[in-house]
Structure 1
Amino acid sequence: MSIEMKEKIRVIIADDSDFVRDGMRIILQIDDDFDVIGCASNGREAIEIAKQIPPDVILMDIQMPEMDGIEATKHIVENNLGKVLILTTFDDDDLVQNALRSGAKGYLIKNHTPEHLKQMIKSVYYGTGVMEESILETLTKNSEIQISRFQEEGYTPREIDIIKAVAEGLSNKEIASKLYISEGTVKNYITTILAKEDLSHRTALAVYYLTGKKPN
């Protein structure tokens, strides 16, 4: 069932591959929930489109000519031009980490299904930072800092349950079902936890729990 929205989610697609851009544009344009307001082949073009027509979500490739996705994301976030969902093949784990530090709200693997793409965009649109499990596993595997570096002291057992569920990539609805609490309660817990760690979104919390590194 489609999520009810007053207006379509305005999306900009930034990728230097014509095939990727056109494919995602077609996938989104045939869905009444989305409006692709522009396509860009590099970060600079994405910024210019965002300045002209305010987007809700920008799908941003990392490696692009002229201006890469990391630099573009930093500019977009600093100037409140929209929320960024990173597209990645995570060839370089450091690039993903840098994009997170730049303020990206989510990470999407390019070999996604159309429905997964749409759901990830909606999650970012509604304020939920998202990261695919395989990317979290890669960050954990490649991290030089072990999981044990995450300090559990100062947290209640329920808060630890919430943190672990976030790190597993579960949505608020899935966490609520797993822990037999309401979605509102889950949201309140996550807000409190993020404030304790001075983190901006749940994706950063997941990375911190799994790798011991605070992205921001």
Structure 2
Amino acid sequence: MTVNLRRLAGWALIVGSIVAVVGYLAANLLAPGSGEDVFRYEAWPLFEGIALVGDVIVALGLPVILTFAGRAPKLHIIGYSGIFAALVMLNLGEGTTEAFVKPYLVAHGGLPAEEPTGFAVFEGVALLALVIGSICLGIAVLRARVLPWWIGVALIVSCLVGALGLPGAWFLLPDCIFFAALVAIGTVAVRPAPAPATAELAGARTA
């Protein structure tokens, strides 16, 4: 049986993005209170764990982005690399801390007053990778003209909205926009490829 890796990766983007968004929304909208209180919510590790599973699935399907490079291969590679780095460092790396380590610390004396040495640098590098990746991939989509133009705009907008530092639950809006763009890319990837024009012309001649 032949496996269509492009379609499989597309489904990974769709399913992973939906699972991740559901997990993040459930954790942050259902958790009572704010600050350290959210880590005392008994279902917090469950919902954040669901989001982490979604992030892993997204990471597995993310290379499908490179199949839409078209006329902008270099920008696609830069965009993919930045987004992949941010996904691993922020969503998976820091996300694991948010999901399991911080709830444990809160239940055993509270969070430390100061973050571990170098953590701010780690987070800064990840955020920089996200900014560069989102903007470069957004521009690449617009230049390549293989995917719908609004996907490129959504990737850029997600980065700009994230920089605003929205209050309350609104801080999830950039993530929702970003994952929506990934779902759209996955949807295009799972569609059957159109028949080549040359094959259609040859068929017409032999008819």
The answer to whether TM tops 0.5 is no
Q: Greater helix percent: which structure?
A: 2
Provide the TM-score with structure 1 as the length reference. Answer: 0.27
Q: Greater strand percent: which structure?
A: 1
Greater relative contact order: 1 or 2 (C-alpha under 8 angstroms, separation 6 or more)?
2
